[in-house]
Amino acid sequence: MPASDDTDVTDDAVGRRTLLRAKELWQSSPLGTERAVQAGDESAVSEPGSAAGAFLGGDHDGRSYRLYVPPGYDADEPVPLLVFLHGCRQTPAAFAAETGMNEVAADETFLVAYPKQSRFGNPLRCWNWYDDTAATRGNGELAWLADLTHSVIDEFAVDEDRVYVAGLSAGGSMAARAIVEYTDLFAAAGVHSGPAYDAVGSVFAALSQMYRGDGQDGREAGIEAYEAMADRARAIPTIVFHGTDDNVVDVTNARQLTEGTLRASHRGVNGEEETLELEPDRVETDVSGPYEYTRRQYRDDTGTLVVEEWLVDGMGHAWSGGSPDGRFTAPEGPDASRLLWWFVSEYEKSTLEAAADARWTLPVVGPVSLSRLSRVRARGREAISRLLER
């Protein structure tokens, strides 16, 4: 029997004690001092924002979710899908209202699925990104998220080449897991204020990683991500947002995420680590309201944009550019929702897979030197990268 969405118990005493201890730690954290989104809040914002279209409620395998269908949706014309994961102490409706993502989807015509974490899954509605039993391929919450995504694809007209995943904080870190574990499902990702892939293995280590960023370095994150992709390895385009004054998830995590994504993507296309360049191809600074920000773009050796990183100086643990009425937003920051969409929407899964496959499958007739084979493969990668250049 599915658990109530507000249940705080688990089936075993050990799990119950762990969750209670985690709850105590979180409530003593800076995030815990902020006003929580209460269970009853969702009905109050059941139609968030001013976007036309339909904001549907649903249940999948005992867990609930919301789905935004834009006014331009036509069942005869497949559209992209964004799986959008809320942070701790949030609900899908609150997350939609605070980020304004439905308004972006209405303008750009794509579906947005908002999976909901229950209090049974985590007392503070955090996605359990740090737990391998919940956040690896075929297991726990991540498996449910993938299955929900397939369900939406089956029920609606979705362009399967353009399915993306993104999130905030714990949801952002789960998105970083999803793009690695399910490269055959998600084309690109967005991570706002979240740790890198597989940074830790327990709730206590998770808190240390968040506050200090000392659980692993970017190179370790990249190696683990590449190994997890296995024969599905390819570039995993990701846009990263983070505030430099974030006292819940230290900005060190953003730097680790950027490096880890670059390393995993480079090996996914090139198969080796030694030739990786970690210097950005483009750096620009500007001002949005009271915030200065730095935008860095990193391309691989085929010219494909792999990571775009936005560091907002002085911003805390909040969605950049969100609603002025939001609890977890920085309204005057760069518009993360539109920037995220503009980034991920440039990518198609099949093209990224082809770029990775080119290294191994380009036909070569007759004896050939290794140097010539390398040039042939490079030309193949260059041809594919031209399709991705923005």
CA distance 94 to 324: 13
Mean pLDDT, the chain, as a whole number? 80
Q: Write out the DSSP string of 104-123.
A: HHHHHT-EEEEE---TTT-T
The pLDDT tens digits for 163-218 are 999 999 999 999 999 999 999 999 999 999 998 776 556 666 666 667 566 656 77
The helix (run of H) or strand (run of E) holding residue 69 is: strand 63-69
- What's the pLDDT at 102? 97
The pLDDT, as a whole number, for residue 270 is 78
| pLDDT on residue 138 | 87
Residue pair 31/317 in contact by the 8 Å Cβ criterion: yes
Say what the pTM is. Answer: 0.80
Residue 187's identity, in one-letter code, is: A
CA 387 and chain centroid, separation? 23
- 334-370, pLDDT tens digit by residue? 999 999 999 999 999 999 998 887 764 333 333 333 3
**Domains, the chain, ordered by start:** 13-349 (3.40.50.1820)
- 154: its two tokens: 């089956």
Q: Which helix (H) or strand (E) holds 257?
A: helix 252-270
pLDDT at residue 208, rounded to an integer: 60
Per residue in 230-265, pLDDT tens? 889 999 999 999 999 999 999 999 999 999 999 899
Residue-wise burial string across 194-233, b where 16 or more C-beta atoms lie within 10 A, e elsewhere:
bbbbbbbeebeebbebbbebebbbbebbbbbbbebbeebb
The per-residue pLDDT for 364 is 33
Predicted pLDDT at 372: 36
